[in-house]
Amino acid sequence: MSSNPSIIDSLKPSGDPDVDLRVRLGEVDASMRVPAMLFLVSAVMWLLAGTAFAMIAAIKATNPDFLGATEWLTFGRVRTAHLNAMIFGWGNNVIFAVAPWIMGRLCRARIRHTNILLAAGVFWNIAVTIGIIGILKGDMIGVEWLEMPAYVTPLVVLTYALVGVWVIIAFRWRQSDHVYVSQWYLLAAFFWLPWLYTVAQVMLIFEPANGVVQSLTNWWFAHNVLGLWLTPIALAVAYYLIPKVLGRPIHSYYLSVVGFWALALFYNWAGVHHLIGGPVPAWVISAGTVASVMMVIPVIVTGINHHLTVVGLHKEGWASPTIRFVVFGAINYTVVSLIGSTMALRHVNEVTHFTHFTVGHAHHGVYAFFTMIMFGAVYYMMPRLLFREWPNAFLIKVHWWMCGLGILLMVFALQIGGWFQGLQMNALTEDGTPVYTFLQTVENTKPWLWARSLSGLMLLIGHVAFAINVYWMIFSPRTQDKVTQPTLLTETTEQA
């Protein structure tokens, strides 16, 4: 390199290709250490805050007088604070920690100028904090998934740009010939979200569209936050970690290509299934229903690909915290997506629409799929960034069992309860009067909502166990030094 490096040279993040791969991955890890820790610690704190909001909202759903006199904790606000804390506080922070790191590793490109990522981390957390305070004090915007007041928009856009640019730079100066499936997903996601967000902000908040075009834009955006942001990132992580930990390449390159493009093509039309039966043009509902059903293709293809990669290695997988969480998430991706496709059918939707079934489905996707995979990623990433092992295997087990069983209980309770709620809401006697009064249907959902609160408590315990482990790992080297082997959950043959 010349003595006077150009701007391009100083941006160029790739390492020396002659050096051993492990050393170069170590360089990537070292470059991401500080920003990833900032994002991760913030993510865990938002996870706890979001769980606290969730518990308050869950109790209020059966006992409306609980904290009923406090305006800023009224159900509509605290429930919205919960959603925003989880998606934008926990979800995006953990993505900003994991995604550039995986991209860097796959491209063998160090993340340079990490001060910019650190600044992004600070901006992001300020934005979410102001946004949630805004929601609680009554500045919320009446658009689902876009409730954070318009005054945080500039900070949000700035952060997406500052983080996204490193993902793209790493990819541009990649040093491997082959481009792995995780890289497509990450690249696509970091392009899709800013576009979705910008269009939604303009058409809903700064220059609101006419009438129900708002609702269509709303669900185009909100469903795609799930489908074109959380989903591709979680799939990228699964595609990266499953082969990595199990030491076996992904089963089929071609299946991953089909899965990727089918998802890109179909998922972004699916969102309008939230408006089935609503006052919008029938053709757009039909298109959304068709796309939702077509999602079966990428889901099955990805499911088969993951399954055939893991098959036969279940015992090894069970020992690894990473694989337990990631495989749980990958299985639930298949299940939740197939349920979602079914829910888009008009006659199923007639029952499930407007009920707790949908709430159960949302948690199934965002938690049992996305969040569980991100937990797995954190279990893999932190030891490599900090050169330390996880201090306590028991806490990992508590985290695993509480969150795994907790989320299953939640999904069962809300979906079974929601299904009955929908049937009772629609049930008519022969002379065309409702069989159940509205208040009877409300009464009948209460036991299921109690079960949901119980499942929330289990998740809370799991999250606290996780947070303690993360805290010990970062801030308590003494607890830490006792562990020298990778922390596994069962004994492997090697150790035995």
Report in angstroms how near the CB of residue 428 gets to another protein at its nearest.
Answer: 6
Report in angstroms how near the CB of residue 442 gets to another protein at its nearest.
Answer: 6
Residue 174 or residue 251: which is nearer to another protein going by CB? 174
Q: Which helix (H) or strand (E) holds 251?
A: none
Report in angstroms how near the CB of residue 366 gets to another protein at its nearest.
Answer: 15
Distance, CA of 360 to CA of 54 (rounded, Å): 14
Residue 5 or residue 208: which is nearer to another protein going by CB? 208
- For the chain, the residue count is 496
Assigned token pair, 343: 């829910």
Report in angstroms how near the CB of residue 205 gets to another protein at its nearest.
Answer: 10
Residue 203 or residue 467: which is nearer to another protein going by CB? 203
- Residue-wise burial string across 429-467, b where 16 or more C-beta atoms lie within 10 A, e elsewhere: eeeeeeebeeeebeeebeebbbbbbebbebbbbbbbbbb
Collapsing DSSP to helix, strand or coil, 30 comes out as: helix
User: Who contacts 3 (Cβ-Cβ below 8 Å, separation ≥6)?
Assistant: none
Residue 422 near residue 352 (C-beta atoms within 8 A) = yes
Residue 314 or residue 446: which is nearer to another protein going by CB? 446
Distance, CA of 79 to CA of 85 (rounded, Å): 10
Report in angstroms how near the CB of residue 222 gets to another protein at its nearest.
Answer: 10
Residue 72 or residue 475: which is nearer to another protein going by CB? 72
Residue 81 or residue 396: which is nearer to another protein going by CB? 81
Of the candidates 342, 370, 378, the residue with the CA atom closest to the CA atom of residue 358: 342
Residue 176 or residue 490: which is nearer to another protein going by CB? 176
Distance, CA of 200 to CA of 211 (rounded, Å): 15
Q: Which helix (H) or strand (E) holds 100?
A: helix 92-107
**What single-letter amino acid sits at 24?**
R
- Cα–Cα distances in Å, from 226 out to 231, 246, 382, 398? 6, 28, 25, 28
- Residue-wise burial string across 282-307, b where 16 or more C-beta atoms lie within 10 A, e elsewhere: eeebeebbebbbbbbbbbbbbbebbe
Report in angstroms how near the CB of residue 94 gets to another protein at its nearest.
Answer: 23
Burial environment of residue 228 by CB neighbours within 10 A (0 to 12, 13 to 18, 19 or more): buried
Collapsing DSSP to helix, strand or coil, 192 comes out as: helix
Residue 473 near residue 382 (C-beta atoms within 8 A) = yes
Residue 100 or residue 329: which is nearer to another protein going by CB? 100
Report in angstroms how near the CB of residue 80 gets to another protein at its nearest.
Answer: 6
- Cα–Cα distances in Å, from 488 out to 78, 319, 386, 396, 433? 38, 5, 17, 9, 59
Report in angstroms how near the CB of residue 489 gets to another protein at its nearest.
Answer: 36
Residue 42 or residue 256: which is nearer to another protein going by CB? 256
Assigned token pair, 32: 């991401």
Report in angstroms how near the CB of residue 223 gets to another protein at its nearest.
Answer: 10
Report in angstroms how near the CB of residue 101 gets to another protein at its nearest.
Answer: 20
Report in angstroms how near the CB of residue 331 gets to another protein at its nearest.
Answer: 26
Residue 19 or residue 213: which is nearer to another protein going by CB? 213
Strand-pairing partners, residue 14, are 109
Report in angstroms how near the CB of residue 451 gets to another protein at its nearest.
Answer: 15
What φ, ψ does residue 484 adopt, rounded to 5°?
Answer: -115, -20
Residue 147 or residue 316: which is nearer to another protein going by CB? 147
- Cα–Cα distances in Å, from 284 out to 197, 261, 281? 21, 22, 6
- Cα–Cα distances in Å, from 377 out to 95, 97, 241? 10, 10, 7
Burial environment of residue 196 by CB neighbours within 10 A (0 to 12, 13 to 18, 19 or more): buried
